[in-house]
């Protein structure tokens, strides 16, 4: 190929892109990464994460493989349990209402441990997620919800380690370089047209991996595909994920796939900025709602806050908040559960009220019908099954009875001052619809035939998530499919090299 700039061009510089780059390098390919953002804002949504990975493990020995410096005291005082392939399959099937593509799910589940261990080998250090994913009960931490390890330093740490790993092995990263279109001769992709510093260039390579995110930061596409009201959602992460990779691929005949009207969206600080703020990271999220109640402007509850562990409900409850009048809700807690609130409740950028009497509290909840709220709390307190023991580490079955919307677990009367409330709106994380890929992460066209030279990984792959999502799967799927895409692209690039 004349003027070839690299064997593999990777579009994006988030988790999926770096895994693709590292896998391609392993095959001996020369890799060029293109990042639309300046270096200071680079790393996509991956940099905003906690760095938590959903990974199959069979017990503490597997955790020790991923976290070789786990202290003996930690092993002794922790019940890590296990997260089996069967559990991961079950979570994917149950949460997506059996719509997730079984071939993609199989790759995700069966390759999760090996892929994370491979990342560890490249220099990504991991630790157990004490605090957020395990509470200490009876002197012992117990992990729950299939989410047990995170990158050291969270998302920023993950990106720093991945960047170092790729750079050390010779990958070049061009920042402030936005991919505009794919170079395509009607048969194979031959590179990317980019804009850098106001000039347009053609960068040629035999294979391109698209890893440049979904369309969550594009208000017009959100409204078009997710529906009315989604223009009003806050974007939790990067402002650069505007669907460019999806658009470029569709323009050369790629097949759209998956839940285009669906997305991952959570409860997010009501007064958060339009896009994510790297200084705050994921801390605008408010994920301790399973231990309280949620009320809307009418003073009414509208979801079962304790339907499951938060890992299995948080990604769909953002939509529930968006659907409320004024697109907001208040999360309500009393003193009994305050110690269980995650660290994100203690940042200074929160919209919070507190009071020592429930009447005073009711009148402080901005935008809420106070009388209706007091009725809700009265009915709530009478409905809690206090005869069942409360245990935050298991689905304790401590429910309510007789309410229009009952709570299934972790119900507590709201009766102990001080009372606290946090205002939330909807924060979108990423979109579920994207491109159709085959088993080697090659992008398929509308006839379901591979588009030569084009691969995809990460958020812009469709077919994995529908309606809901098990926490920690985004990074894991980006890693699994990034690794597959990078290796396959490198092998194909070598195959088209002139002999
Ligand atoms: C606040 C927050 C917390 C989260 N926490 C977790 C968690 O703990 N665990 C988990 O598994 N998931 C989490 N997620 C979801 C997770 O971030 C994503 O699923 C995952 O990071 C997606 O990785 P990616 O590589 O596909 O995309 P990204 O990391 O978003 O990378 C996309 C890259 O493409 C670049 N780009 C976009 N357009 C172009 C273009 N035209 N040209 C060049 N470059 C372009 C972007 O700048 C970026 O570098 C969280 C998300 C957010 C927002």
From first to last of its 499 residues, what are the pLDDT tens digits of the chain? Answer: 668 899 999 999 999 999 999 999 999 999 999 999 999 999 999 999 999 999 999 999 999 999 999 999 999 999 999 999 999 999 999 999 999 999 999 999 999 999 999 999 999 999 999 877 777 878 888 888 889 999 999 999 999 999 999 999 999 999 999 999 999 999 999 999 999 999 999 999 999 999 999 999 999 999 999 999 999 999 999 999 999 999 999 999 999 999 999 999 999 999 999 999 999 999 999 999 999 999 999 999 999 999 999 999 999 999 999 999 999 999 999 999 999 999 999 999 999 999 999 999 999 999 999 999 999 999 999 999 999 999 998 999 999 999 999 999 999 999 999 999 999 999 999 999 999 999 999 999 999 999 999 999 999 999 999 999 999 999 999 999 999 999 999 999 988 765 4
* Residue 264, SS3 per DSSP: strand
**Strand partners of residue 333:** 420
Q: How far is CA 251 from the centre of its chain?
A: 27
End-to-end CA distance of the chain: 12
What's the CA-to-centroid distance between 213 and ligand 1, angstroms?
6
Q: How far apart are CA 91 and CA 472, in angstroms?
A: 12
Q: How far apart are CA 153 and CA 147, in angstroms?
A: 17
User: If you compute the radius of gyration of the chain from its CA atoms, what whole number of angstroms results?
Assistant: 23
Testing ligand 1's pocket by substitution, the residue of 10, 33, 45 carrying the most ligand atoms inside 8 A of its CB is 45
Testing ligand 1's pocket by substitution, the residue of 475, 477, 483 carrying the most ligand atoms inside 8 A of its CB is 475
Q: Decide: 429 in ligand 1 pocket, CB within 6 A.
A: yes
Cis, bond preceding 477 (omega within 30 deg of 0): no
Using alpha carbons, list the distances in angstroms from residue 408 to 123, 321, 425. Answer: 42, 19, 23
Cβ-contact 353, 365 below 8 angstroms: yes
Cβ-contact 211, 457 below 8 angstroms: yes
Testing ligand 1's pocket by substitution, the residue of 15, 166, 212, 233 carrying the most ligand atoms inside 8 A of its CB is 212
**Strand partners of residue 263:** 431
**Strand partners of residue 355:** 419
Q: Decide: 12 in ligand 1 pocket, CB within 6 A.
A: yes
> What is the model's pLDDT at position 140?
85
Residue 396: Cβ within 10 Å count = 16
Cβ-contact 20, 34 below 8 angstroms: no
Q: How far apart are CA 95 and CA 107, in angstroms?
A: 18
> What is the model's pLDDT at position 2?
65
Using alpha carbons, list the distances in angstroms from residue 8 to 38, 245, 494. Answer: 21, 16, 10
Tally of residues, the chain = 499
Pairing of strands 126-128, 149-151: antiparallel
What's the CA-to-centroid distance between 47 and ligand 1, angstroms?
7
Per-residue tokens: 359? 């009447």
Q: Decide: 178 in ligand 1 pocket, CB within 6 A.
A: yes
> What is the model's pLDDT at position 134?
79
> What is the model's pLDDT at position 145?
80
**Shortest-distance atom of ligand 1 to CA 51:** 8
Cis, bond preceding 437 (omega within 30 deg of 0): no
Using alpha carbons, list the distances in angstroms from residue 160 to 125, 164, 385, 481. Answer: 11, 6, 48, 20
Q: Decide: 50 in ligand 1 pocket, CB within 6 A.
A: yes
**Shortest-distance atom of ligand 1 to CA 482:** 25
Q: How far apart are CA 92 and CA 380, in angstroms?
A: 32
Angle at the Cα of 182 from the Cα atoms of 176 and 184, rounded to 5 degrees:
155
**Shortest-distance atom of ligand 1 to CA 45:** 30
Residue 34: Cβ within 10 Å count = 25
> What is the model's pLDDT at position 135?
79
Burial class (CB in 10 A: 0-12, 13-18, 19+), 244: buried
314 Ramachandran zone, left/alpha/beta (phi>0; psi -120 to 50): alpha
Cβ-contact 270, 366 below 8 angstroms: no
> What is the model's pLDDT at position 497?
63
Cβ-contact 410, 390 below 8 angstroms: yes
Q: How far apart are CA 249 and CA 263, in angstroms?
A: 20
Closest CA relative to residue 418, chosen from 368, 352, 349: 352
Q: How far apart are CA 263 and CA 166, in angstroms?
A: 30
Q: Decide: 427 in ligand 1 pocket, CB within 6 A.
A: no
Burial class (CB in 10 A: 0-12, 13-18, 19+), 439: exposed
Q: How far apart are CA 178 and CA 176, in angstroms?
A: 6
């Amino acid at each position: 190929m004349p003027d070839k700039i690299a064997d593999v061009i990777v579009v994006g510089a988030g988790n999926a892109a770096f895994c693709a780059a590292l896998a391609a390098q392993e095959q001996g390919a020369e890799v060029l990464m293109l990042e639309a953002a300046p270096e200071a804002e680079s790393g996509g949504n991956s940099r905003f994460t906690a760095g938590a990975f959903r990974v199959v493990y069979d017990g503490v020995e597997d955790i020790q493989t991923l976290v070789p410096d786990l202290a003996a005291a930690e092993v002794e005082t922790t019940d890590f349990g296990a997260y089996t392939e069967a559990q991961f399959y079950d979570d994917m099937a149950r949460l997506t209402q059996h719509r997730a593509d079984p071939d993609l799910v199989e790759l995700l589940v069966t390759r999760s441990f090996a892929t994370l261990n491979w990342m560890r080998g490249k220099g990504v250090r991991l630790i157990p997620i004490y605090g957020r994913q395990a509470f200490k009960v009876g002197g012992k931490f117990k992990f729950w919800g299939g989410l047990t390890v995170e990158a050291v330093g969270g998302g920023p740490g993950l990106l720093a380690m991945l960047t170092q790993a790729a750079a050390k092995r010779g990958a070049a990263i061009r920042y402030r370089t936005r991919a505009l279109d794919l170079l395509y001769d009607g048969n194979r992709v031959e590179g990317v047209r980019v804009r850098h510093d106001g000039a347009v260039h053609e960068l040629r390579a035999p294979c391109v991996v698209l890893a440049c995110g979904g369309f969550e930061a594009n208000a017009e596409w959100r409204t078009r595909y997710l529906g009315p009201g989604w223009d009003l959602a806050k974007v939790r992460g990067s402002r650069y994920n505007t669907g460019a990779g999806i658009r470029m691929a569709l323009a050369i005949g790629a097949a759209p796939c998956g839940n285009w009207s669906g997305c991952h969206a959570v409860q997010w600080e009501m007064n958060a900025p339009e896009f994510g703020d790297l200084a705050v990271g994921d801390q605008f999220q408010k994920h301790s709602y399973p231990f309280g109640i949620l009320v809307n402007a009418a003073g009414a509850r509208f979801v079962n806050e304790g339907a499951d562990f938060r890992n299995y409900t948080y990604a769909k409850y953002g939509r529930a908040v968006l659907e409320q009048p004024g697109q907001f809700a208040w999360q309500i807690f009393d003193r009994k559960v305050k110690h269980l609130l995650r660290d994100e409740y203690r940042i200074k950028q929160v919209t919070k009220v507190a009071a020592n009497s429930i009447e005073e509290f009711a009148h402080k909840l901005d935008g809420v019908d106070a009388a209706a709220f007091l009725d809700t709390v009265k009915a709530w307190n009478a409905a809690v099954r206090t005869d069942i023991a409360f245990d935050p580490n298991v689905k304790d079955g401590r429910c309510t009875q007789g309410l229009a919307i009952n709570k299934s677990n972790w119900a507590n009367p709201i009766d102990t001052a001080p009372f606290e409330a946090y205002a939330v709106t909807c924060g979108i994380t990423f979109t579920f619809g994207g491109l159709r890929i085959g088993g080697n992460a090659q992008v398929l066209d509308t006839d379901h035939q591979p588009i030569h030279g084009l691969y995809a990984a990460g958020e812009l792959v469709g077919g994995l998530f529908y309606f809901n999502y098990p926490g920690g799967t985004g990074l894991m799927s980006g890693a699994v499919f990034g690794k597959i895409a990078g290796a396959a692209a490198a092998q194909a690039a070598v195959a088209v090299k002139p002999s």
